[in-house]
Amino acid sequence: MVKFRCAIMLLLAVTSLVVISSGVFNNTDFAHAQSVPTPSGYSGTQAAEWAQQNVYSDVYSDGAPFYGENDCANFVSHAMAAGGLNDGDIIWVPTLYNWVLANGGVLVSSVTQLVPGDLIFFQWPSSQYSWDHVTMYIGSGMVSTHGDVNPAYAPSYGTIKPWWRWGTASDIAFVHFPGQPALSPNQLIQVSSMSSFPSGNGYWMVNTSGDVAAFGAAPNEGSTMGMYLAADIVGIVPDNKTGGYWLVGGDGGVFSFNAPFYGSVPGLNIPLSNAQIVGMAASSSDGGYWLVASNGAVFGFGKAPYYGSAVGQLEGLAGVSIVDIVRSPHGQGYWLVASNGAVYNFGQAEWLGSLNSSPQGLSSPQGLSNQGLMLPVVGASATSNSQGYWLVASNGAVYAFGAAKFLGSPVQSTGSTSTASLDPAVGVAATPNGSGYWLASSSGAVFGFGQVGYFGSALSG
């Protein structure tokens, strides 16, 4: 007889904007266990911390067995035990579901009601089991789990990712343990992008689940954290006219928050093949935006004119992809930036130098070895007069071209070697007047250089 099961499932092709909004999926057990007392001595914070620290480990300190792709319930059981709620090492998902509801767990209707240490159960379509997979919620729309079957995402079958990254489920249960603290406001896990507020006195950060943190004067207009998405959120872009912003997913889905919606890639019914959307830029005040894919394809929406793409430019360059699109501030062109430091200009955006060959125009050669770029470029930003731009590498090294001034970075350079405190960097955002810029790391750290204000960070630990 089968003793445990955590279903093997391939991630579905990313083709839609929003699959299902937040909520319990036909869950007939919603009212169950509402009167069950809060488990005494359970610390969801400690459980979530254990789940993050041990997610990539396949060795348990107490000598318990590791079940590979079927380790999800076993992993969650150990995490709960670290938080003081010992279920006796349950390794069968349906049994764990019944146990937590009998021991203080309460069903709620949305992931937005969860706090670190809570659980999410999944049932796959046509499954013969009541529940097939379980994850531990660690905050800001993210979960830690064992049982992922894609080693590209998760060595040792462990991973931290947005809660909805398991394809289409026929039923989902959100289990909350009352009395546990939530993450502090503006704490994020796995930050994917940063953008400056149009006035320069604030900034936003977003993580892969679409949770938004707003700092300074930047308003929090909403997020996609409670939505069942088709792809990770990869960017946040301000609408200079409304003060709101757009979030963009890796499938080209666009989510508008106090900003007009002009369209998305899924609405075009154009397959991205093996590429994914990696960046977004707003056009001029006339209204519109561009999306760029990792293969260099550019998609214009609204009144954003098409000036060209880098499709075909990366052929023969192994491991090189487009990582960002930057609008020329006058709105009549854009730059595409590649991971090898190449810059492709279109429209009236002037080419001012790049890192992929001879670094023409480079005024800050930190982090460059005799062979060129040491680490991949991850983002870019432009000066307000369109006469300069900055590139930032994953270690936080900043490269200034044209009229853009090098104002500093977290990297300490000595000859051809460099060290940094980023983990890694995810982008650079300049002030509107170009007098300074911020760098953001995936952990939520913020570094400011030049004449910028520090308004806080999204660090969760």
Q: Does 11 have pLDDT greater than 80? A: no
Please state the φ and ψ torsions of residue 191, each to the nearest 5 degrees.
-65, 135
Write down the pLDDT at residue 156: 54
What's the mean pLDDT in 12-35?
A: 32
| DSSP assigned state of 70 | G
Average pLDDT, the chain: 83
- pLDDT tens figures, 362-416: 555 444 443 445 679 999 999 988 889 999 999 898 999 999 999 998 875 444 4
- pLDDT tens figures, 301-329: 999 999 999 999 888 888 899 999 999 97
What's the mean pLDDT in 2-15?
A: 34
Q: For residue 9, what pLDDT band results from cuts at 50, 70 and 90?
A: very low
At 24 the three-state DSSP class reads coil
Among the ranges given (29-33, 180-184, 230-234, 395-399), the one the predictor scored with the smallest mean pLDDT: 29-33
At 196 the three-state DSSP class reads strand
What's the mean pLDDT in 57-71?
A: 81
Ranges for all domains in the chain classified under CATH 2.130.10.10: 191-450
Q: Does 51 have pLDDT greater than 50? A: yes
Write down the pLDDT at residue 418: 45
Distance from C-alpha of 394 to C-alpha of 427, rounded to nearest angstrom: 8
List the beta bridge partners of residue 337. 324, 343
**Which token pair is 213?**
């943190």
Please state the φ and ψ torsions of residue 224, each to the nearest 5 degrees.
-105, 15
Class of domain 18-176 (CATH, top level): alpha beta
- pLDDT tens figures, 407-448: 998 875 444 444 455 678 999 999 988 899 999 999 999 999
- Count the neighbouring beta carbons within 10 Å of the beta carbon of residue 445: 18
Q: Does 201 have pLDDT greater than 80? A: yes
Q: Find, among 293, 304, 313, the residue nearest to 347 by Cα.
A: 304
Q: Is the domain defined by 191-450 classed in CATH 1.10.357.10?
A: no
Write down the pLDDT at residue 59: 80
Q: For residue 152, what pLDDT band results from cuts at 50, 70 and 90?
A: very low
Ranges for all domains in the chain classified under CATH 3.90.1720.10: 18-176
Write down the pLDDT at residue 371: 41
Distances from the Cα of 115 to the Cαs of 22, 24, 139, 229, in angstroms?
16, 16, 6, 20
Q: At what angle do helices 72-82 and 93-102 cross, to 10 degrees?
A: 30
8 A C-beta contact, residue 135 and residue 250:
no
Write down the pLDDT at residue 180: 87
- pLDDT tens figures, 280-303: 999 976 789 999 999 999 999 999
Please state the φ and ψ torsions of residue 238, each to the nearest 5 degrees.
-80, 150
Query: What pTM, to 2 d.p., does this model score?
Result: 0.84
8 A C-beta contact, residue 158 and residue 57:
yes
- pLDDT tens figures, 74-123: 999 999 999 999 888 898 999 999 999 999 999 999 999 999 999 999 99
